[in-house]
């Protein structure tokens, strides 16, 4: 997809951009001519992404951020404005679940709920709050947050994560109503099944916790079994699939789309 006209010279912040999905979102924006702030808690991987973007000839900076801390999110935005002169687009990609999986739900501990809501919900709120005055003053801006199909159809293995991702959708609808009159679009992308390091970890936990459901399966086999059972189109999604959806919602082609949660899931949730 060619978004050169939409993003050339625009300034984009992508949180969680040191990971596979966030890194691909950052790469696609850079490819389209945007200036990118790669924001992540993981310094080493974040710097690797910046190096790759600069090798493409793009302008990019790395900012270490902890989205669970409001002052860190403010510092992230301040660093972006200092480097690039402003902010046009915010992508809330940073996300995390707890260390336990449910099924039964009694496996879930309070720390799972705390981590899921601190990173996914509070983190999204703090990042939006950090760009709020800039976007409202300039009367334009695009906010795209990453949820999950688990946020639309709760996953019994991940009730804490599902609830947090559902909160992102509802919160984004509230922001869309408030900020829409100021030419600010707020939308959500809900990925389906992508074999990222996070899913690899989840697959291992599921195989260990549910040996009768996933007998002697590797993490990859658990993932492929889930794709077979859940995805109507019988193929896994890719980081590129999701990145394209993010760029679309941040583009002028989507100027009249706001408050929506777009599934990129091969028909898993309808």
Residue 207, in any domain of the structure: no
Res 1: pLDDT: 60
Counted domains in the chain: 1
Q: In what order do the strands lie in the sheet with 35-40?
A: 60-64, 35-40, 11-15, 89-92, 141-146, 184-191, 261-264
Confidence of residue 243 (pLDDT cuts 50, 70, 90): very high
pLDDT per position as a tens digit, 64-94: 999 999 999 999 999 999 999 999 999 999 9
Here the CATH number for the domain that contains residue 124 is 3.40.50.720
101 in a structural domain = yes
Asked if residue 233 belongs to a domain, the reply is: no
Alpha-helical regions (H) of 90-142: 110-116, 123-138
Which tokens sit at 247?
């760029």
Structural domain span for residue 37: 4-192+238-264
104 preceded by a cis bond (ω within 30 of 0): yes
Question: Is 161 annotated as catalytic?
Answer: yes
Q: Taking residues 168-181, report their average pLDDT.
A: 98
- Per-residue pLDDT at 103 exceeds 80: yes
- Name the average pLDDT for the chain: 95
Position 198 in a domain: no
Is 216 inside a domain boundary?
A: no
Residue 177 maps to a domain: yes
Active-site choice (161, 175, 195, 244): 161
Q: In the structure, what pLDDT confidence band is assigned to residue 19 with cuts at 50, 70 and 90?
A: confident
**pLDDT, mean of residues 212-226:** 93
* Helix residue spans in the chain (DSSP H): 4-7, 20-31, 43-55, 70-84, 110-116, 123-138, 159-179, 197-209, 219-230, 239-250
Q: Confirm whether 142 is domain-assigned.
A: yes
- How many separate helices (H) and strands (E) can be counted in the chain? 10, 7
Question: What are the tens digits of pLDDT across the range 122-164?
Answer: 999 999 999 999 999 999 999 999 999 999 999 998 999 999 9
Q: Is residue 206 part of a domain?
A: no
């Amino acid at each position: 997809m060619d978004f050169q006209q939409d993003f050339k010279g625009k300034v984009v912040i992508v949180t969680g951009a040191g990971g596979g999905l966030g890194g691909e979102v950052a790469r696609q924006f850079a490819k389209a001519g945007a200036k990118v702030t790669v924001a992540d808690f993981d310094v080493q991987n974040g710097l690797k992404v910046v190096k790759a973007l600069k090798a493409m000839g793009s302008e990019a900076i790395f900012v270490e951020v902890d989205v669970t801390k409001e002052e860190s999110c403010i510092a992230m935005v301040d660093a972006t404005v200092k480097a690039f002169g402003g902010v046009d687009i915010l992508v809330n990609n940073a996300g995390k679940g707890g260390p336990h999986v449910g099924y039964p739900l009694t496996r879930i501990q309070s720390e799972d709920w705390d981590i899921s809501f601190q990173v996914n919900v509070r983190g999204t709120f703090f990042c939006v709050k950090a760009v709020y005055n800039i976007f409202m003053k300039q009367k334009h801006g695009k906010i795209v947050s990453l949820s999950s199909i688990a946020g639309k159809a709760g996953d019994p293995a991940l009730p804490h994560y599902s609830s947090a991702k559902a909160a992102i959708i509802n919160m984004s609808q509230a922001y869309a109503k408030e900020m829409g009159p100021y030419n600010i679009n707020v939308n959500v992308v809900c990925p389906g099944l992508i074999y990222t390091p996070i899913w690899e970890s989840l697959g291992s936990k599921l195989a260990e916790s549910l040996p009768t459901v996933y007998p002697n399966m590797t993490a990859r086999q658990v993932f492929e079994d889930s794709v077979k059972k859940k995805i109507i189109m019988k193929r896994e999604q890719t980081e590129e699939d999701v990145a394209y959806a993010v760029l679309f919602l941040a583009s002028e082609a989507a100027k009249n789309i706001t408050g929506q949660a777009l599934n990129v899931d091969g028909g898993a949730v309808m």
